Amino acid sequence: MLAARSSLLSAISAMENKPAAMIVDLFGTAALTVAEEFHILKYVTLVSCAWPLTLLLYAPILDKQIQGEYLDHKELLKIPGCKPVRPEDVAKPMMNRKDHEYESFIRLGLEIPSMSDGILINTWEDLEPTCLKAMREHPEWKQIVKVPVYTVGPMVRLAGQSGGPRSELLDWLDKQPNESVLYIAFGSGGVLSAQQITEMAWGLELSAQRFIWVVHPPKDGNKGNDISEYLPEGFVARTHDKGLVVTTWAPQSEILAHSSVGGFLSHCGWNSTLESILNGVPMIAWPLYAEQKMVATLLVEELKVAIRPKVLPTKAVAGREEIEMLVRKIMEHKEGDAMRATAKELKKSGETALSKGGSSFNMLAELAKQCKINTNASTSCLSACSCCLP
């Protein structure tokens, strides 16, 4: 970190025109001390939504209030003015209070509001109004977060921005009926167990629905990297007219934007979630790690655009019968139609937020204004993060 700090100091010192602000991500707060030396504004940007952020920022208080492990706590974890959190839904760093990750998590919860001049969240006002209002107005939150909270989302890569030749997957989708295909993907880091891959395959086959399934070798596999070794015998042949099994990269943005896609079985990473919402596609929530369990709860219980297995996928294998039921529910039943209609409404809401005069548009305008005031002329910003405003 010292070498990175030195390089950052040198880079800024060499600039003819000093930047107006530095924007770092969750893992770059150490760089904010460099911004202080140059008297430039300091912002932390969160690529997830507001509710997991409240847990992070309130964790230092929970650390003092609750004894023992959070997972052993029988009652909901209460966050002022916000939806309480089930102990089983906490982020991975909170699962073991003796681990160094927990110490880092608590430290971040203290550093983000104390070291920055503002917090940028990849959400919008109408998506999480209660949570955002609490962070700004609740008396207890006013003692925790004394800097502005900017909602600047939804920020995602739009379909058609990846470049390169058109994928054959899209050609296949062109031949399918409208909203008839379920897309299944678990992000770059999402891997299922061998048993879960088998049950997923049987569930998809039993549902008789069209699908595109992006699947990788299991985390506990002992048969090599050939995915066919983990699928039921004859699965690909029996479903060849209904679905595609993909073992390499898939153009997710383009797939979710296609009119033939009517559902998304997702790990609930926030980027994937936004891509689904912004295309009006409802979800089967399948959280695996990070803050995904909280996102899944938000999608199911608050936004009403998703359904999920009865037991967390991280705790038990979902059987083929349950998977069949979930797939049919979202693709065939009225409940799926209702979620699809709700997702389309949220899509409009997100587009409105980013349009001129929308909440996120106005927040970004205010952010630019603060940058301009700080330099009296320039509105440029320096990014020292791995994921920041474009």
222 lies in some domain: yes
65 shares a domain with 177:
no
Check residue 175 and report its DSSP letter: T
Q: Are 245 and 231 in contact (CB under 8 A)?
A: yes
Bridge partners for 245 per DSSP: 213
Confirm whether 259 is domain-assigned: yes
Q: What is the Cα 162 distance to its own chain's centre?
A: 19
In-domain check, residue 159 = no
290 and 330 in a single domain? The answer is yes
Closest CA to 78 of 69, 66, 68: 66
Q: For residues 191 and 258, state if they share a domain.
A: yes
**Is 286 contained in some domain?**
yes
Contacts of 50 (CB under 8 A, 6+ apart): 121, 123, 128, 131, 132, 135, 149, 151
Do 191 and 325 reside in the same domain of the chain?
Answer: yes
In-domain check, residue 162: no
Asked whether residue 77 falls in the same domain as residue 216, the answer is no
3-state secondary structure of 219: coil
For residue 115, being part of any structural domain is answered with yes
User: What is the rounded distance in angstroms from the CA atom of residue 386 to the CA atom of residue 390?
Assistant: 11
- Same domain? 40 vs 139: yes
Query: What residues make up the domain containing 40?
Result: 2-153+355-383
| pLDDT value of position 6 | 84
* Secondary structure letter of residue 85 according to DSSP: B
Closest CA to 388 of 31, 10, 106, 15: 31
pLDDT confidence of residue 373:
86
Q: Are residues 66 and 189 in the same domain?
A: no
85 is written with which tokens?
Answer: 């959190």
Same domain, residue pair 258 and 126:
no
- Give the pLDDT of residue 58: 98
Q: Are residues 309 and 359 in the same domain?
A: no
213: left (phi over 0), alpha (psi -120 to 50) or beta: beta
Residue 307 and residue 53: Cα distance in Å, rounded?
23
What tens digit of pLDDT does each residue of 331-349 get? 999 999 999 999 999 999 9
358 vs 352: CA distance, rounded Å: 6
Enumerate residue ranges in the chain where pLDDT < 70.
1-2, 160-164, 376-390
Is the same domain home to 54 and 13? yes
Question: What pLDDT score was predicted for residue 174?
Answer: 97
Domain count across the chain: 2
Give Cα 319 to chain centroid, integer Å: 26
67 and 178 together in one domain:
no
| Within a domain: 390 | no
pLDDT of residue 378: 42
d(CA 169, CA 161): 16
| 175-218 pLDDT per residue, tens | 999 999 999 999 988 899 999 999 999 999 999 999 999 999 99
Domain of 140, CATH number, reads 3.40.50.2000
H or E element in which residue 307 lies? strand 306-307
**Dihedrals phi, psi of 142, to nearest 5 degrees:** -65, -20
Alpha-carbon distance of 288 to 186, in angstroms, equals 8
Distance between CA atoms of 176 and 34, rounded to whole angstroms?
54
Residues 325 and 377 in one domain: no
E strand or H helix that includes residue 41 = strand 41-46
CB proximity list for 194: less than 8 A, separation 6 or greater = 218, 220, 221, 222, 223, 230
3-class state of residue 300 by DSSP: helix
CB 252 within 8 A of CB 261: no
Question: In DSSP terms, which residues pair with 118 in a beta bridge?
Answer: 43
pLDDT the model gives residue 388:
38
Tokens representing residue 341 in the block: 């209609």
Residue 389 maps to a domain: no
One-letter amino acid for residue 180 of the chain: S
